[in-house]
Amino acid sequence: MASYEEVGIGDAVLLDEISTRAFVDNLRVRFNGGKIYTYIGEVCVSVNPYRTVNLYGKEYVTQYKGREIFERPPHVFAIADAAYKAMKRRGQDTCIVISGESGSGKTEASKIIMRYIAAVTNVAGQQEIERVKNVLLQSNAILEAFGNAKTTRNDNSSRFGKYMDINFDFKGDPIGGHVQNYLLEKSRVVLQQPGERNFHSFYQVLFGASDSELSRLKLKRDVNSYHFIRQGGSPRVDTIADKTDYKACQGAFKTLGFSTEQIDAIWRVVSAILHLGNIEFTSSGDETQIKNPKVVKDIAELLHVSPDQVTKALCHRVIAARGEVMEKRHTESEASYGRDAFAKAIYERLFSYIVQGVNSAIEVRYENQSPQYKYNTVIGVLDIYGFEIFERNSFEQFCINYCNEKLQQLFIELVLKQEQEEYKREGIAWQTIDYFNNQIICDLVEQNHKGIISITDEACLNVGKVTDEMLLEAMEKKLKGHDHFTTRKLSPMDKELKHVVEFRIKHYAGDVVYAIKGFLEKNKDTLFQDFKRLMYSSSDHVISSMWPEGAQDITMITKRPLTAGTMFKNSMIALVKNLASKEPYYIRCIKPNDQKSPVIFDQERVTHQVNYLGLVENLRVRRAGFAYRQSYDRFLRRYKMISQYTWPNFHGGTDREGTKILVEEQGFSNDVKYGNTKLFIRSPQTLFALEQGRAKLIPGIVIFLQKMWRGAICRMHYRRLKAGLTILAHYRKYKMRSYMLELNRVFRNVKHMQDYGKHLRWPAPPLVLRSMVSDFQSIHNRWRAHMILSNVPKSDWPQLRIKVIAGDALMGKRADWGVREYWEGNYLASTKENPAASNFQSAVRNMRNKDGFREVLFSSLIKKINKKNKSSERAILITDRHIYKLHNKTFKPLRSPIPIVEVSGISVSPGQDQLVIIHLRSGNDFVISLMSQTNANRVGEVTGLLLRQYQLLNRTDLRVIVNANLQCMLGNKSRMINVEENSVGSFPAFSKGPRKELIYTWPTSMNKEIPPPSKTSTHRQAPAPPSRSPGANGYGNGHIKSNGHNNTNRHSNGVHTYGNV
Ligand SMILES: Nc1ncnc2c1ncn2[C@@H]1O[C@H](COP(=O)(O)OP(=O)(O)O)[C@@H](O)[C@H]1O
Ligand SMILES: [Mg+2]
């Protein structure tokens, strides 16, 4: 509990002595100490300070915002906050009922509450909410201008009842509202008691409007010129700033969205009423006439109707009887009555029209709102006319005081009666506290048939002429013996009551003597149809729209309207029902004195109010009672986390037992009582401690729940992920397995295929195996190579390798490249081929010693041609490093050997001839024709050997050209060589052609028949690559396409100019 400087006792529940005296003394001490608010538990008693108090600033708002009632000194802010919190926390509609007699500060309190709510809401600063708040606050200026007046009790007395609902969205921000107005005291328009004023609006326009505005309204700035506003004799009041209020009212009209035409029409109506008050009648004979027709003209102009119509409506009435329409002239007094009724009715309509305008400015605009706004809650603020007693009390006071009886009844019902009944029901030991139940007075007024309103209605219904006196008699007859009703006739000894004129009601708040005069008329509240039609005929649509029933035909028979009394009664019953449906908060206003003085505390006046408000009974009930009650199950659910015995769940017995354990553990046993179904907690402090304990633990619980839930979500996610992976793995396995099965099926018989399955199409692999397929394929390729090679003896593998290389370069391009021959290479070392083989061998030895090569790859006799076109026989020797040109007999080298790395290409013809051109970088190519005893075809062998050796030495491929017309360089000159076959010669020869070209002739007699390829043709002498199935591609004569050399033809070392291939 916060500490603050205490004057007297802030919460009267804590008073040492409970008595009216002690209670009032405490109020006085606090009032004198500047403390105007005092609690009775959660009821706030407010004593009107009659001075500006500095209690409502921003610093006060922050002190009360979100705090518990008992934490801070008593204040209306705390009540407003409690209502707001309940609404926001529990989604509960709440209402704040402000009661107290006239001038006790109800209207001020309601405005303070609205300002507080505006100050604590819309932290997000939303524009629409700001607008709504502004409209809510500013609507007061308008409603007070037109509905408040100075009375002898209060300079700013509300002469209408106001119940305002403020709608909040789910976040607790105000999104709109609705004003319900109750019975306006319209008699004030035409009549004011001494010291009182008419409604503020009349004075505001006179003092506030500019000269030009006034002249448009045909007004003089002089109160005394107008009968309707001068009767009270006190037009100017210190506390009322009419001029500023007029400005504020005009500003509020604009804020609320009233149009210029509407505002203009409103002030014209107000002015017309002022003029209407000045209409006087004269009668000559039975002719009633208007004394001052100029005024009629002004009225007509202001109301936008014709002056004749105005005159007519004021002096005549049209009646329809049995289908006939007749005109009847008023008597003077009828005319005066009609004028006043007219003035009152216009003002009443105007007021309702303004309330409607206020409502359309603040109504919740659902259509623009997101659906969440539809779930809104409401705080109702009731500021209604307070109980009042005047010198002369009439029908209006009767209604106002009845209204206060109803509110008191509600308070009794909720605070005193239901509360005590609940204690009994719950079996709580309880000493019944007596209080005065004013139900009996409510019944006196409102009961059907027997109540004053019913009696008055009956009198009004009477067809014959009924007077007020007759009404009083009827009341005396029916209410004789009632404790709270009397007249002089019923109590002849009571000298205070005037015979046949007055009756007295003993109200809960005091005795009031009412004058019966006017009761019937006011209850009937008749207005001649003529006026309704007149107003409807206005060319100003704002004015005519206030009088829709003026459109009715005169002859139309309408239902008798409800009387004013019955309508008021119905509205009160509806109001009480509405309030009872909400959670109520009370502010009880007290007037410290009748002088509006900030220093006088009139003990007697205050005691009277405390008594009739039932505050001490309230205090007794409160003190003996309990601040808070809750059913055991809900209590346990809310606070179970506080105790280790009840958290997370209580299993040791009933909810009641769980509650008991919790309460005892927390040490609150002395502050509670255990009812049959509910726990009762006496002091709010205990409740607060429970709430605090709970609030402290909630974050931990929230984190715990979040933790558990996050864990659960993660586990769920993990399980789903794992399931997915398992499915994926199985599916992958299945895909792989089925692919492998498919491979198995496709390749089942490869072993028995001629090409070991090379031609087979590989089935499309699944995604997972796509990268593996090339590995499978290379495995297959290796296996095929193994299978092929396993048919060839190991000693033949080097020869085979050369054949593969040669085949790559020549196959398909040359008719025969000697693949079927056994490639021995060093032919000159064999006596079969070379009788002087031993000479050759020793020459080779010499060369090896000199040049240091490792092995002889090839040797043969050749025919060559030189740059001078001279052809000669020679021998060629190819070692692993060099190409030698040797003498054909001595085998001595004829020039220094040509390094193989110097070779730049090989050209051969497509035929069976033995021409080989070894292109050299030196610009002098080696143009030879291979020779042998057996006419062997060795072009392939030479080509293959050179290709391989070049590749080994240079790591690039030699270019091989196969063409019938070839080109060579001899002596740095480019020469064409045409290969020609002829049948004339018997050995190949070089010659010079007619165009300087060289001609190499090949005798067709040396051509051999080429046998068709077959697997069985492979014999020892000639290991040939196995043939592929014919037609698998364009090769025809099959061989192995070696991986390492299959690009031979395509690569160029880039230096050659020969090659129009
Ligand atoms: N809280 C307050 N602070 C200052 N003056 C107040 C306060 N409450 C009431 N008054 C004064 O009392 C007058 C009457 O209050 P009002 O609220 O109009 O009474 P009610 O509505 O109960 O008839 C106000 O005009 C104002 O001068
Ligand atoms: Mg008021």
Q: Is the CB of 48 under 6 A from ligand 1?
A: yes
C-beta of residue 979 within 8 angstroms of C-beta of residue 1000: yes
Q: Is the CB of 1026 under 6 A from ligand 1?
A: no
d(CA 42, CA 97): 13
* C-alpha separations of 93 from 81, 86, 250, 375, 572 in Å: 14, 8, 33, 11, 20
Work out the pLDDT band at 2, boundaries 50, 70, 90.
very low
Nearest to 690 by CA among 650, 659, 649: 659
Q: At what angle do helices 127-147 and 242-255 cross, to 10 degrees?
A: 140
Report the separation in Å between the CA atom of 596 and the middle of ligand 1, taken as the mean of its atom positions: 9
Q: Whose CA is nearest to atom 14 of ligand 1?
A: 103
Q: Which two tokens stand for residue 398?
A: 């009767």
* C-alpha separations of 302 from 306, 313, 445, 656, 699 in Å: 10, 16, 41, 74, 67
Q: What is the pLDDT of residue 1059?
A: 29
Q: Which two tokens stand for residue 213?
A: 């505005």
Give the ligand at the shortest distance from the Cα of 387.
1
Q: Is the CB of 105 under 6 A from ligand 1?
A: yes
Q: Which helix (H) or strand (E) covers residue 485, if one does?
A: strand 485-487
Q: Is 726 exposed, middle or buried (0-12, 13-18, 19+ CB in 10 A)?
A: exposed
Q: What is the mean pLDDT of residues 955-967?
A: 91
Nearest to 524 by CA among 458, 452, 472: 458
Catalytic residues: 102-103, 107, 154, 157-158, 386, 388
Task: Using the predicted structure, report yes or no on whether residue 94 has a pLDDT greater than 70.
Answer: yes
Q: Is 606 exposed, middle or buried (0-12, 13-18, 19+ CB in 10 A)?
A: buried
Report the separation in Å between the CA atom of 622 and the middle of ligand 1, taken as the mean of its atom positions: 28
303-311 long-range Cβ contacts below 8 angstroms, 24+ apart: 303/268, 303/269, 303/272, 303/535, 303/538, 303/540, 303/543, 304/538, 304/539, 304/540, 304/543, 305/534, 305/535, 305/537, 305/538, 305/539, 306/537, 309/534, 309/537, 310/534
Q: What is the DSSP letter of 535?
A: H
Q: What is the pLDDT of residue 286?
A: 73
Q: What is the mean pLDDT of residues 828-850?
A: 90
Q: What is the DSSP letter of 676?
A: S
Give the ligand at the shortest distance from the Cα of 388.
1
Nearest to 848 by CA among 874, 873, 884: 884
Pocket test for ligand 1, best of 108, 153, 163, 609 (most atoms within 8 A of CB): 108
* pLDDT tens figures, 252-263: 999 999 999 999
Q: Is the CB of 55 under 6 A from ligand 1?
A: no
Q: Is the CB of 157 under 6 A from ligand 1?
A: yes
Q: What percent of the chain has pLDDT over 90?
A: 56
Pocket test for ligand 1, best of 31, 156, 162 (most atoms within 8 A of CB): 156
> Among the atoms of ligand 1, which is closest to the Cα of residue 56?
1
Tell me the average pLDDT of the chain.
87
Q: Is the CB of 384 under 6 A from ligand 1?
A: no
Give the ligand at the shortest distance from the Cα of 151.
1
Report the separation in Å between the CA atom of 103 and the middle of ligand 2, taken as the mean of its atom positions: 7
Identity at 172, one-letter amino acid code: G
Distance, CA of 575 to chain centre: 37
Q: What is the pLDDT of residue 208?
A: 95
* pLDDT tens figures, 515-536: 999 999 999 888 888 899 999 9
Q: Is the CB of 598 under 6 A from ligand 1?
A: no
Work out the pLDDT band at 4, boundaries 50, 70, 90.
low
Q: Is the CB of 172 under 6 A from ligand 1?
A: no
C-beta of residue 458 within 8 angstroms of C-beta of residue 473: no
Half-sphere exposure of 179 (CA within 13 A, CB side): 29
C-beta of residue 850 within 8 angstroms of C-beta of residue 899: no
Q: What is the pLDDT of residue 3?
A: 42
C-alpha torsion angle, residues 586, 592, 598, 601 (rounded to 10): -130
Q: What is the DSSP letter of 766?
A: P
Q: What is the mean pLDDT of residues 127-150?
A: 92
Q: What is the pLDDT of residue 1023?
A: 55
- Which has more pLDDT, 259 or 1051? 259
Nearest to 589 by CA among 616, 571, 615: 615
Q: What is the mean pLDDT of residues 23-46?
A: 94
Written as one string, the DSSP assignment of 703-763 is HHHHHHHHHHHHHHHHHHHHHHHHHHHHHHHHHHHHHHHHHHHHTTTGGGSTTTTTTPPPP
> Among the atoms of ligand 1, which is closest to the Cα of residue 105?
17
Q: What percent of the chain has pLDDT over 70?
A: 94
Report the separation in Å between the CA atom of 47 and the middle of ligand 2, taken as the mean of its atom positions: 14
Q: Is the CB of 147 under 6 A from ligand 1?
A: no
Q: Is the CB of 77 under 6 A from ligand 1?
A: no
Work out the pLDDT band at 617, boundaries 50, 70, 90.
confident
Q: What is the mean pLDDT of residues 397-425?
A: 87
Helices marked H in 148-223? 200-208, 211-216
- Which has more pLDDT, 388 or 589? 589
1003 cis-preceded (ω within 30 degrees of 0)? no
Task: Using the predicted structure, report yes or no on whether residue 1054 has a pLDDT greater than 50.
Answer: no
Report the separation in Å between the CA atom of 426 and the middle of ligand 1, taken as the mean of its atom positions: 42
Task: Using the predicted structure, report yes or no on whether residue 296 has a pLDDT greater than 70.
Answer: yes
Work out the pLDDT band at 1044, boundaries 50, 70, 90.
very low
Q: What is the DSSP letter of 415?
A: I
Task: Using the predicted structure, report yes or no on whether residue 379 has a pLDDT greater than 60.
Answer: yes
C-beta of residue 451 within 8 angstroms of C-beta of residue 443: yes
Half-sphere exposure of 991 (CA within 13 A, CB side): 9
- Residues shown for the chain: 1061
C-beta of residue 17 within 8 angstroms of C-beta of residue 9: no
Report the separation in Å between the CA atom of 156 and the middle of ligand 2, taken as the mean of its atom positions: 7
Q: What is the pLDDT of residue 946?
A: 93
Which residues are near ligand 2, the ion (C-beta closer than 5 Å)? Answer: 106-107, 158
> Among the atoms of ligand 1, which is closest to the Cα of residue 589?
22
> Among the atoms of ligand 1, which is closest to the Cα of residue 102?
23
d(CA 280, CA 272): 15
Q: What is the mean pLDDT of residues 705-714?
A: 94
Which pTM does this prediction carry?
0.64
CA max distance for the chain: 183
